[in-house]
């Protein structure tokens, strides 16, 4: 099924995610494979679809800084102020996540990247369903798709819902590691720090 990325389709999008389905969803940068981040079965399905190396975690999209607590992340004042100044944006922030119950997400790396996306419709979806994964729609090692038509050619009926948002080609998010008193840029992308 294909729906447009507009508010009148928010129920179709959120219901698919709540049902544990994997969908193709626009992020604030590119089309992403998305599912509930707290659904191990759905997360594994994306690894299979992408033929992705097992030790590369996906980015987690959240609607609010407070959702980091769900992953055992406790922020100090420096980290909290940094995030308040820099989110929402195409800025992925990596934190240590050591709890073994999240090993299906962190893949033994014991850290995860999080982002509050710079897109209000996406934030409103996240408010309804909670944290979701986001990883480029492609076979690992190949370029990301730019359109839903390209995604359908690659993945067809293996995807439960395609959310159409025209041609999407953008720089990926900037990725940083945010420690207790400083940050390090791991990948320069859309956001300059």
pLDDT at 53 over 90: no
38 backbone dihedrals φ, ψ, rounded to 5° = -95, 20
Question: Which band of pLDDT confidence, cut at 50, 70 and 90, is reported for residue 43?
Answer: very high
User: Can you tell me the distance from the alpha carbon of 66 to that of 178, in angstroms, rounded to the nearest whole number?
Assistant: 16
Extended strands (E) in the chain: 2-4, 23-26, 31-34, 59-61, 91-96, 111-115, 132-136, 161-164, 174-178, 183-187
Decide: 95 and 74 in contact? Cβ < 8 Å. no
Q: Measured between alpha carbons, how far apart are the two ends of the chain, in Å?
A: 39
**Chain-centroid distance, C-alpha 76:** 24
The ranges assigned to domains in the chain are 2-147+154-186
- The CATH code that applies to domain 2-147+154-186 is 3.90.870.10
Q: What is the pLDDT of residues 139-186, one digit of tens each?
A: 999 999 999 999 999 999 999 999 999 999 888 899 999 999 999 999
User: Can you tell me the distance from the alpha carbon of 134 to that of 30, in angstroms, rounded to the nearest whole number?
Assistant: 9
Instruction: Give the count of beta carbons closer than 10 Å to the beta carbon of residue 111.
Output: 13
Q: Give the per-residue pLDDT at 65.
A: 98
pLDDT at 23 over 90: yes
Q: Give the per-residue pLDDT at 52.
A: 87
Average pLDDT over residues 120-138: 97
């Amino acid at each position: 099924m294909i729906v447009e990325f507009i508010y009148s389709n928010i129920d179709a999008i959120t219901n698919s995610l709540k049902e544990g389905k994997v969908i193709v969803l626009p992020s604030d940068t590119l089309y992403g494979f998305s599912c509930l981040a707290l659904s191990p079965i759905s997360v594994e399905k994306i690894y299979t679809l992408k033929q992705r190396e097992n030790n590369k975690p996906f980015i987690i999209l959240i609607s609010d800084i407070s959702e980091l607590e769900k992953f055992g992340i406790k922020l100090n004042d420096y980290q909290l102020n940094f995030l308040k100044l820099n989110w929402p944006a195409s800025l992925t922030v990596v934190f240590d996540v050591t709890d073994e119950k999240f090993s299906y997400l962190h893949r033994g790396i014991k850290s995860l990247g999080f982002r509050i996306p710079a897109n209000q419709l996406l934030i409103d979806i996240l408010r309804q369903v909670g944290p979701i994964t986001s990883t480029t729609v492609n076979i690992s090692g190949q370029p990301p798709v730019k359109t839903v038509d390209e995604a359908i050619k690659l993945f067809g009926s293996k995807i439960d819902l395609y959310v159409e948002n025209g041609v999407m080609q953008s720089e990926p998010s900037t990725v940083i590691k945010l420690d207790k008193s400083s940050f390090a840029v791991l990948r320069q992308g859309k956001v300059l720090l």
